[in-house]
Amino acid sequence: MKRLLTLLGAVLALAACSKHDGKVIARIGSEKITDTYLQEKFAEISPAAQAYLATKPGRKQFLDVLIHERLMLMAARKSRVAAGEDYKGRVRQKEAEMKQTLQDYKDFMLTRMWVEDMRSNELKVSDEEVRAYYEKYPYKVTLAHILLSDPDEAEKVMRKIKAGADFEKTAKEYSLDREAVRLPPVMYGEFMPELEDMAFKMRVGETQGIVKTALGYHIIKKLAQEKADPASAMDRVRKILEKKKFDAYLAKFQDKMKVEVTDENYK
């Protein structure tokens, strides 16, 4: 019995009054519990409990729990707690949270659906474009990098590398990105634009830098270069071209907008 009541209590979140249509099963003052509402609540119960609740004693007990919960809620609404500032403040806080959650969902869904629509229109990439890009940029390269925030520090590290210091050990000691010294293989278009041409023109084993990007100051070493398998590369190329079109579209849109960073710490 206690287990059944626990199961029921965990799933019953009752409203002030049922707005569902259907046959009236019970009345509690001016409120009512309808067959439609009861069936909806019944569907929320675990399959193990539903077998018992399908019997006449089970249905009666289920309704008794609903009535008991409704009586508790009605009594609470008439209590001093309902008029208290603590309760009202908590409700206002939850309403604000729910309003923000709804706005976040609307923004997320609109952006996602907009991107999906763009992919079928402005960002659409033809098979011919994919093949042409692969013919021009068929290789993928594997790189290691050291990222530093200060140009003087970058110069010091570069001198160590040129003097024969091990690249990976030096990166583990100085780089801001010590957990990702060796980067995954990239095709042309998947890497930072400021470093891309350098990375693909370098010889395997060669180290170059210092190059400034928005992230900081980079030193890179080319570990490997090989031709990407055409079958697996086509999807990557399509995504690269989609991104290029998307970036161009957004840059053109940004030109029409006034974008200004007002905090000096973020410039």
Mean pLDDT confidence for 250-254: 93
Structure tokens at 107: 């923004």
> For the segment 157-185, what is each residue's pLDDT rounded down to a tens digit?
999 999 999 999 999 999 998 888 899 99
DSSP state of 182: B
Confidence bin at 44 (pLDDT 50/70/90): confident
What CATH number was assigned to the domain covering residues 139-227? 3.10.50.40
| Mean pLDDT value across the chain | 89
> For the segment 83-109, what is each residue's pLDDT rounded down to a tens digit?
999 999 999 999 999 999 999 999 999
Pairwise CA distance, residues 219 & 143, whole Å: 10
Question: Which residue type does 129 have?
Answer: E
- Of 2-11, 194-203, 227-236, give the lowest mean pLDDT range: 2-11
Bridge partners of 226?
A: 140
- Residue 19 reports pLDDT greater than 70: no
Count other C-beta atoms under 10 Å from residue 220's C-beta: 25
What percent of the chain lies above the pLDDT cut of 90? 70
Beta strands in 117-227 (DSSP E): 139-148, 186-187, 207-213, 216-227
What local confidence, expressed as pLDDT, does residue 45 receive? 83
Pairwise CA distance, residues 255 & 265, whole Å: 24
Pairwise CA distance, residues 91 & 96, whole Å: 9
What local confidence, expressed as pLDDT, does residue 57 receive? 87
> For the segment 105-159, what is each residue's pLDDT rounded down to a tens digit?
999 999 999 999 999 999 999 999 999 999 999 999 999 999 999 999 999 999 9
What percent of the chain lies above the pLDDT cut of 70? 92
Q: For 70, what's the count of Cα atoms within 13 Å in the CB-facing half-sphere?
A: 21
Would you list the domain boundaries of the chain? 2-81, 103-136+233-249, 139-227
Beta strands in 155-254 (DSSP E): 186-187, 207-213, 216-227
Note the pTM of the prediction, 2 decimals. 0.68
Confidence bin at 20 (pLDDT 50/70/90): low
Scan for tokens 């019997």, then name that residue: 55
Nearest to 195 by CA among 165, 225, 216, 174: 216
> For the segment 228-251, what is each residue's pLDDT rounded down to a tens digit?
999 889 999 999 999 999 999 999
Pairwise CA distance, residues 160 & 117, whole Å: 51
